[in-house]
């Protein structure tokens, strides 16, 4: 939104502040100023030429961020900003609107509002004997420098008032418009050729201004072409109305048509402003289309609301701001902002909100605290530590776990990545995810955003492919949320860890390295071989990761076809499941008082015999005295055998074992192993 | 018969020569055994004392003891010298080059956003704020309604929010955790909620549809703007590692009233104006404000009794500021050439 510094000075007589200071003050107290520009910056050289021709003082344009005006409909015109400037500078506003003429409810022109929900107020006025001509240069200069193209005097007056009072207006050629104006919902199948030359198909959700024959305007957005001002226009009907913000916003966004008018109605315009705009227009027309004659305005006000009065306790406001406030100071602030003030007692006020601040902006005492705060200046508040009860801060055990796992992974050479939460249709198919179990995005921008990821693997796979172009060996991991439809159909989120060890040359040997990492991160876990059951797993190199018999993840080699080159070991852990199974603190075991004895055994078994299987057998035959069973090595015996060596350690709590006892134990185990069909290697 | 006294003198002389001539600890030991041993030469001499006059015997005995002491000291000195030269030789042979790069796995790297998040979690934990999480797939209620964002607010437009086909949405900010926290834990409360948020936007160097925020909230009795400024100044001074000057100016967010934009004095130019702060001396950093009474009552608490402040800080933005990262897309790229720098 652009504001002319000269215009503001005109509306605030006596304003001495230079434009830079003014812009800073507006930023600190009202809305964010994005810069101060020369008017030519928006309208080109013509502006300067006009200024020279007119011999008027060159202007400066203050550019305010529209986003900082969303809750301030009153600031969408110069008068609203002038009120702020006056309050900031301690001056008063000169209202450009003179006395309001008496309005009739109906006349030659009839106005009907079908449904009060569609239009709070509609004010119209016929003006006869107008003559279409270019506007005077001062008006062209002003419009131009605010980025509005001058068209002709009649249209320019409506735009000028939009910029001045913030009230959108429209001028119809009265000879092309019927005498009965209706505000109604558009009918199904209705359409309108608008002023911009585009044809719009309307729905029952849109509001139109119509005469008996047809719609002549889309309410609050744009006028129709059929009733537009022509060069030969002699009589016009001026419209100044108030339409509901939500309807205008919906129509404007569905029709993809944003106009200066819709932008203002979306914010919630003050219905009190309609007749003021008409009065101002009639007065301007007298100047720039001499001889014009206005009929009395017709005003239909279906929904008049009384601006609220709010109780304000100054002590309470003090506590909110954390700053002392005198009652007088507060009264001055509200008076300078043209609020009504009644003093109920020494520290209690009743504040009457002006109509232009009441549509959306101010309704509760907290809103008044903001008015006080911004006007005294937030810089006048001294930072203060609160007095609070000292108590231990509750811990977030999940975050502590994630932090510990991250530290462990980084120590093992893994780098943390962060991937998107989305996957594509192609991903779902490639990874074998069932679409009916996935959360689906209703409005993706690109195809990669079709579903929410049920696993971090698709992202990790992309990281492997991308990074393999630059690195021969690397390790990476991600901790993040995975999403699925829960049992009852509602979204379920779990935190996963997925880690990968990639090697361009390795032949999957690093799967055991990944097992070491898994046991480092989750010391209680067991790796239990399982056939690779999904498309992403090497069928012969896969296992479950279990804690206390419950599966908490998978350890596997990535299905070799998924990477163009190289292989990868993958570890997936469900960190929520892991968190629930974290081991409890245990009492320590006393140190052994008597020496132990050890011996080694090498068992010859088939190539596919599981080491875990041999360990189980050894434990079974060894009995109670076994203190530890340590795997030493595997020695291949081609073509189809291998030798697996273990160290067994025995001991007793109450004595030293005799040599005889150890020998007998060894013989017992050897016998058992042989009976089970294995040989022993000497 | 030879004079024992002369014999002791001669023996001492020759033994001293042999000790200093010994080239190794083993040679030295041979000398020691031959001279000082139980059956050594000095011991042999003492056996001849029996034939001497008592006077002479005492004299010879004294001399023998002196010779023994002299030789033992010479022997120890030589032993020390030989030992240190021998281990010196061994150490020399054990020299290694410590400029050789070590073998094994080099440590990995933690994502820059995680690093910033960890730091902020620890800082706020130390100030009594608990760290909370909320769902990323949220309901419209928690993301908008409960936060006093009216149904016709532009932020609800399709183009800003990722919607799920089942009517859920991806949270557009971490603010829903405000209401969830108040409902679950009540007041008073001090909490932060870091996490991933989503905006349905086209991606370019400065826009991402996925980024990280941290929400902060304190609800108690009589929480003021002064308290808010205190915490923001403390937080930001710690984050940036030096005293940071902040200022508040009006800002509009439906879930706070009054609402503020918080600016910090430009850390590059110190407030004099430069390209980073667009010559203004200030950099807009975070939105904040006093929690709107509707948010308090939507959380099941009485806004007459409880009030508070809230703020939202962009973790991704903070990480970008800290490391001068000029392309936000790198954050979610998984590119190790980038991530290995942190």
B320 in contact with A, Cβ within 8 Å: no
Residue pLDDT, tens place only, A439-478: 999 999 898 999 999 999 999 999 999 999 999 999 999 9
- Taking residues A173-187, report their average pLDDT: 95
Distance, in Å, from the CA atom of A217 to the CA atom of A538, rounded to the nearest integer, reads 67
Report, in this order, helix, strand and coil percent for chain B, each rounded to 5: 45, 20, 35
- At A319, the pLDDT band (50, 70, 90 cuts) reads very high
B226 in contact with A, Cβ within 8 Å: yes
Could you tell me which residue, A107 or A238, shows the higher pLDDT? A238
Distance, in Å, from the CA atom of A333 to the CA atom of A341, rounded to the nearest integer, reads 10
3-state secondary structure at position A444: coil
pLDDT at B197: 97
DSSP class of residue B133 equals -
Contact A38, A2 (CB under 8 A): no
Please indicate whether, in this complex, the C-beta atoms of A321 and B133 are within 8 angstroms of each other.
no
The 10 Å Cβ neighbour count of residue A228 is 18
Please indicate whether, in this complex, the C-beta atoms of B136 and A320 are within 8 angstroms of each other.
no
Question: Looking at the predicted structure, is the pLDDT value of residue B154 above 80?
Answer: no
- Of all residues in chain B, the one with the smallest CA distance to A395 is B130
- Of all residues in chain B, the one with the smallest CA distance to A244 is B152
Distance from the B324 Cα atom to the nearest Cα atom in chain A, whole angstroms = 19
Residues of A (263-322) whose Cβ lies below 8 Å from B? 266, 319-322
What is the per-residue burial (b if ≥16 Cβ within 10 Å, else e) of A410-446?
Answer: bebbbbbbbbbbbbbeebbeebebeeeebbbbeebee
B141 in contact with A, Cβ within 8 Å: no
- Token duo for residue A103: 């309005």
pLDDT at A442: 95
B336 in contact with A, Cβ within 8 Å: yes
Distance from the B130 Cα atom to the nearest Cα atom in chain A, whole angstroms = 6
- Taking residues B26-45, report their average pLDDT: 86
B316 in contact with A, Cβ within 8 Å: no
The 10 Å Cβ neighbour count of residue A177 is 25
Question: Looking at the predicted structure, is the pLDDT value of residue B38 above 80?
Answer: yes
Q: Which residues of B touch A20 (CB under 8 A)?
A: none
- Token duo for residue A557: 């080699």
Please indicate whether, in this complex, the C-beta atoms of A399 and B209 are within 8 angstroms of each other.
no
3-state secondary structure at position A153: helix
Q: Which residues of A touch B184 (CB under 8 A)?
A: none
B168 in contact with A, Cβ within 8 Å: yes
B54 in contact with A, Cβ within 8 Å: no
pLDDT at A70: 86
Question: Looking at the predicted structure, is the pLDDT value of residue B115 above 70?
Answer: yes
A415 in contact with B, Cβ within 8 Å: yes
Residues of B (75-94) whose Cβ lies below 8 Å from A? none
Distance from the A381 Cα atom to the nearest Cα atom in chain B, whole angstroms = 6
* CA-to-CA dists, residue A10 to A39, A48, A75, angstroms: 17, 20, 17
Q: Which residues of B touch A467 (CB under 8 A)?
A: 334-336
The 10 Å Cβ neighbour count of residue A155 is 23
- Of all residues in chain A, the one with the smallest CA distance to B131 is A396
- Taking residues B189-193, report their average pLDDT: 97
pLDDT at A44: 54
Per the prediction, chain A carries an average pLDDT of 92
Question: Looking at the predicted structure, is the pLDDT value of residue A45 above 60?
Answer: no
Could you tell me which residue, B271 or A556, shows the higher pLDDT? A556
A409 in contact with B, Cβ within 8 Å: yes
- At A183, the pLDDT band (50, 70, 90 cuts) reads very high
A487 in contact with B, Cβ within 8 Å: no
- Of all residues in chain B, the one with the smallest CA distance to A369 is B258
Please indicate whether, in this complex, the C-beta atoms of A415 and B129 are within 8 angstroms of each other.
no
Tell me whether 0.95 is exceeded by the ipTM. Answer: no
Residues of A (7-36) whose Cβ lies below 8 Å from B? 27-32
The H or E element spanning position B226 is helix B225-240
pLDDT at B10: 87
Taking the complete model, does pTM exceed 0.90, yes or no?
no
Please indicate whether, in this complex, the C-beta atoms of A417 and B249 are within 8 angstroms of each other.
no
Please indicate whether, in this complex, the C-beta atoms of A462 and B113 are within 8 angstroms of each other.
no
pLDDT at A54: 61
DSSP class of residue A441 equals B
């Amino acid at each position: 939104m652009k504001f002319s510094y000269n215009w503001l000075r005109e509306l605030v007589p006596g304003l001495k502040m230079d434009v830079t200071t003014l812009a800073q003050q507006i930023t600190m107290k009202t809305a964010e100023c994005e810069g101060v520009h020369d008017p030519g910056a928006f309208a080109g050289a013509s502006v300067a030429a006009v200024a020279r021709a007119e011999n008027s003082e060159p202007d400066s344009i203050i550019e305010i961020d529209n986003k900082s005006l969303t809750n301030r409909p009153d600031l969408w015109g110069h008068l609203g900003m002038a009120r702020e400037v006056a309050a900031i500078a301690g001056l008063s506003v000169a209202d450009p609107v003179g006395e309001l003429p008496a309005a009739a409810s109906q006349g030659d022109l009839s106005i009907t509002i079908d449904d009060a929900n569609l239009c709070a107020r509609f004010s119209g006025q016929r003006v006869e004997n107008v003559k279409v001509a270019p506007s005077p240069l001062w008006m062209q200069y002003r419009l131009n420098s605010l980025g509005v193209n001058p068209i002709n005097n009649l249209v320019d007056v409506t735009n000028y008032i939009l910029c001045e009072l913030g009230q959108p207006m429209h001028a119809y050629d009265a000879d092309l418009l019927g005498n009965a104006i209706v505000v109604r919902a558009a009918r199904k199948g209705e359409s309108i050729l608008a002023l911009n030359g585009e044809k719009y198909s309307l729905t029952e959700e849109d509001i139109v201004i119509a005469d008996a024959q047809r719609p002549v305007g889309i309410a609050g957005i744009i006028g129709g072409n059929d009733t537009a001002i022509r060069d030969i226009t002699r009589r016009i009907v001026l419209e100044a109305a108030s339409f509901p913000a939500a309807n205008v916003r919906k129509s404007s966004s569905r029709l993809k048509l944003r106009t200066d008018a819709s932008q203002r109605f979306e914010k919630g315009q003050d219905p009190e402003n309609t007749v003021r705009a008409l009065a101002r227009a009639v007065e301007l027309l007298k100047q720039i289309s001499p001889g014009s004659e206005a009929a009395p305005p017709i005003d239909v006000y279906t929904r008049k609301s009384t601006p609220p009065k709010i109780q304000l306790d100054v002590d309470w406001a003090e506590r909110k701001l954390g700053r002392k406030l005198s009652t007088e100071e507060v009264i001055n602030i509200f008076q300078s902002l043209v609020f009504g003030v009644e003093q109920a007692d020494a520290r209690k006020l009743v504040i009457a909100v002006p109509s232009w601040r009441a549509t959306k902006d101010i309704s509760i005492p907290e809103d008044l605290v903001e008015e006080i705060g911004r006007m005294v200046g937030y810089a006048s508040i001294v930072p203060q530590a609160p007095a609070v009860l000292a108590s231990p801060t509750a811990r977030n055990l999940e975050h502590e776990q994630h932090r510990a796992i991250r530290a462990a992974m980084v120590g093992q050479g893994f780098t943390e990545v962060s991937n998107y939460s989305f996957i594509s249709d192609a991903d779902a198919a490639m990874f074998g995810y069932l679409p009916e179990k996935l959360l689906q995005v209703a409005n993706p921008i690109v195809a990669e955003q079709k579903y929410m990821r049920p696993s971090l693997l698709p992202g990790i796979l992309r990281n492997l492919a991308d990074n393999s172009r630059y690195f021969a060996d690397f390790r990476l991991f991600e901790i993040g949320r995975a999403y699925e439809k829960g049992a009852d159909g509602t979204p379920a989120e779990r935190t996963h860890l997925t880690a990968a060890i990639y090697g361009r040359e390795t032949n999957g040997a690093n799967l055991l390295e990944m097992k070491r990492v898994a046991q480092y991160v989750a010391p209680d876990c067991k790796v239990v071989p399982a056939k690779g059951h999904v498309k992403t797993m090497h069928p012969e190199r896969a296992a479950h990761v279990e804690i206390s018999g419950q599966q908490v993840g998978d350890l596997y080699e990535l299905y070799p076809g998924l990477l163009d080159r190289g292989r990868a070991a993958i570890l997936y852990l469900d960190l929520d499941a892991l968190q629930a199974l974290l081991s409890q603190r245990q009492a320590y075991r006393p140190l052994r008082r008597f020496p132990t004895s050890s011996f080694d055994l090498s068992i010859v078994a088939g190539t596919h015999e599981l080491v875990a299987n041999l360990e189980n057998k050894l434990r079974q035959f060894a009995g109670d005295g076994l203190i530890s069973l340590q795997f030493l090595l595997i020695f291949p015996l081609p073509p189809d055998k291998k030798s697996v060596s273990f160290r067994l350690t025995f001991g007793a709590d109450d004595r030293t074992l005799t040599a005889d006892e150890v020998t007998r134990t060894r013989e017992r185990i050897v016998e058992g192993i042989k009976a089970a069909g294995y040989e022993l290697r000497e | 018969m030879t004079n024992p006294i002369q014999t002791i003198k001669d023996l001492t002389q020759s033994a001293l020569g042999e000790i200093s001539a010994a080239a190794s600890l083993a040679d030295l030991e041979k000398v020691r055994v031959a001279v000082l041993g139980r059956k050594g030469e000095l011991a042999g001499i003492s056996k001849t004392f029996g034939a001497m006059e008592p006077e002479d015997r005492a004299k010879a005995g004294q001399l023998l003891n002196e010779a023994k002491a002299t030789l033992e000291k010479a022997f120890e000195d030589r032993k020390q010298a030989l030992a240190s030269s021998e281990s010196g030789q061994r150490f020399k042979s054990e020299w290694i080059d410590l400029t050789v790069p070590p073998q094994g796995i080099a440590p990995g790297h933690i994502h820059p956003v995680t690093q910033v998040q960890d730091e902020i979690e620890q800082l706020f934990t130390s100030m009594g704020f608990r760290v909370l999480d909320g769902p990323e797939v949220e309901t419209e209620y928690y993301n908008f309604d409960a936060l006093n964002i009216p149904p016709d607010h532009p932020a609800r437009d399709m183009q800003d929010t990722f919607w799920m086909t089942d009517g859920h949405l991806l949270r557009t900010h971490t603010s829903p955790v405000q209401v969830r926290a108040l409902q679950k834990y009540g007041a008073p409360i001090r909490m932060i909620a870091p996490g991933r948020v989503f905006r349905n936007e086209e991606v370019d160097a400065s826009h991402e549809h996925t980024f990280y925020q941290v929400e902060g909230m304190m609800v108690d009795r009589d929480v003021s703007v002064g308290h808010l400024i205190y915490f923001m100044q403390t937080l930001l001074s710690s984050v940036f590692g030096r005293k940071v000057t902040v200022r508040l100016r009006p800002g509009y967010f439906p879930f706070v009233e009054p609402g503020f934009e918080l600016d910090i004095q430009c850390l590059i130019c110190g407030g004099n104006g430069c390209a980073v702060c667009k010559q203004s001396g200030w950099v807009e950093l975070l939105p904040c404000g006093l929690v709107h009474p509707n948010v308090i009552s939507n959380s099941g608490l009485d806004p007459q009794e409880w009030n508070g402040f809230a703020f939202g800080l962009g973790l991704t933005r903070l990480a970008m500021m800290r490391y001068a990262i000029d392309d936000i897309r790198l954050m979610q790229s998984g590119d190790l050439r980038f991530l290995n720098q942190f």
